[in-house]
Amino acid sequence: MTSVSEFMKAAPARLEGNTPWASRYAGELRRVVVEQANGSARNVQRHLGPSELGVPCDRQVVGKLAGVPATNHVADPWPSIVGTAVHAWLADAFTAANAGLDFPRWLAEQRVVPHPDHSGTGDLYDAKESAVVDHKVLGESSMAKIRSVAGPPIKYIIQLILYGKGFRLMGLPVTRVALAAYPRTAASLDGLYVWERATGPQDDALIEEVFALTGRRKQMAEEIISGRLTLTDIPTSADDSECFFCPFYRPQSKRDNGPGCPGPNS
Ligand code: SF4
């Protein structure tokens, strides 16, 4: 786990090559990749999808709903670039796997609308198992957490349940949601791990709670937009692992009272 001080020191490393030209060129390649990643539709969106509604920290979700500018420029986009690329490959692979089947078993990258304001894209629906599958491409520490007794973070579970609701609203049977965790840094698929849980109408009360919480968060976002509140007036509930990837994380703000959020216990 990265410490706060390590996080603050994590300026992009100087890149290397076999000649001075190659070193400079490596930096130029990285600049283009990072600029594209930071400007992608996924990163400039204000619409919150199912993956964001279950985040426990009010401040993070309210800040996103209010369109507060990001202050965390340290988090490296590479893990999400790898994740996006793997998702695209998996979508093609599972779609192609329908060829030759008696019925199309796999439905990949399907838009789902569990709530009119919060649509999303379900990675995979398995018609044979009546299961909704979400692919996660994860580093070692996240893989270990999902394999532990505690299981996935609540935001992943809420995301899965909301996708399940979206597929149910399309009229498809859904009895199970599954998180397929692919090891991002391993050299083989031997570490692939699946976490699953039953779902169905029994989750509708929980889903309504999530939407009610989102409604309260939208009200707080309106208060920020109107200037009656600032981001730091919003309560927090997070740990380091959530904060490091939060767009508003800026530990220095505890000292300089500048923009951003200092993180847990702020
Ligand atoms: S940095 Fe952490 S505590 Fe602050 S808004 Fe983000 S997730 Fe919440």
Quick: pLDDT tens for 132-155.
Answer: 999 999 999 999 999 999 999 999
pLDDT band, residue 266 (cuts 50/70/90): low
User: 224 phi and psi, to 5 degrees?
Assistant: -70, -45
Whether residue 95 is contained in a domain is answered as yes
Rounded Cα gap, residues 74 and 7, in angstroms:
8
- Asked whether residue 114 is assigned to any structural domain, the reply reads yes
Tell me, yes or no, whether 172 lies in a domain.
yes
CB 15 within 8 A of CB 27: yes
Q: Where do we find the tokens 């083989």?
A: 188
- pLDDT exceeds 80 at position 39: no
Q: What does pTM read for this prediction? A: 0.89
CATH number of the domain to which 102 belongs: 3.90.320.10
Our answer on whether the CB atom of 151 is closer than 6 Å to any ligand 1 atom is no
Asked whether residue 42 is assigned to any structural domain, the reply reads no
- pLDDT band of 11, cuts 50, 70, 90: low
- 55 assigned to some structural domain: no
Q: According to the per-residue pLDDT averaged within each range, which of 2-16, 42-56, 183-197 is highest?
A: 183-197
* Ligand 1 close to Cβ of residue 167 (< 6 A): no
- Residue 242 CA to residue 114 CA, distance in Å, equals 24
Q: Can you give the pLDDT at residue 41?
A: 47
Predicted local distance difference test score (pLDDT) of residue 173: 98
Number of domains forming the structure of the chain = 1
Q: Is residue 257 part of a domain?
A: no
In a domain, 174, yes or no: yes
Reported as type and span, the H/E element at residue 151 is: none
Q: How far apart are CA 84 and CA 186, in angstroms?
A: 17
- Residue 171 maps to a domain: yes
Residue 5 has pLDDT above 90, yes or no: no
CB 177 within 8 A of CB 164: yes
Nearest-atom index, ligand 1, CA of 261: 4
Distance CA 49, CA 33 (A): 24
Domain residues for 106? 78-201
Q: How far is CA 66 from the centre of its chain?
A: 18
Query: Ligand 1 pocket: which of 243, 244, 245, 265 to mutate (most atoms <8 Å of CB)?
Result: 243
Ligand 1 pocket residue status of 259, Cβ below 6 Å? no
> How far, in Å, CA of 161 to CA of 203, rounded?
7
Q: Residue 12 above 60 pLDDT?
A: yes
261 CA to centre of ligand 1 in angstroms: 6
Mean pLDDT value of segment 211-231: 96
